[in-house]
Amino acid sequence: MSVDLGPVAIEARLREASRLAGSLRPEKRLETKLDLRGPAVAARLRQASDLLELCRQLRRATDNL
C-alpha cells in the first residue's frame, strides 16, 4: 500500500481529519456530551429496547412471507 505524500494529498487528509475532529474542539465539546442522569439513561435504554422489539417484529413478519 502506498500513501501519496504530495502536498495536495497531505493537505486534503489534514482538512478531512480536522473536519472529523470538529466536535472534539473545546467550543463544541458540550454539544457532544451525553446526559448521564438516571432519567436520560433510562429513556435511551427504553428507546433501544423499543427498537429491538420493532426489529424482532419485522423479522417475524418477514419470516411469515
| Alpha carbon distance 17, 19 (integer Å) | 5
Q: Half-sphere exposure of 12 toward its Cβ, with a 13 Å CA cutoff?
A: 7
Q: What is the pTM of this model?
A: 0.48
Q: What is the pLDDT of residue 49?
A: 94
Are the C-beta atoms of residues 50 and 58 closer than 8 Å to each other? no
Cell 474542539 -> residue: 25
Each residue's pLDDT, cut to its tens digit, for the chain (65 residues) gives: 688 888 899 899 988 888 887 766 666 666 667 787 888 889 989 999 999 999 999 999 888 77
Q: What is the pLDDT of residue 24?
A: 67
Domain parsing of the chain, residue ranges: 1-33, 34-65
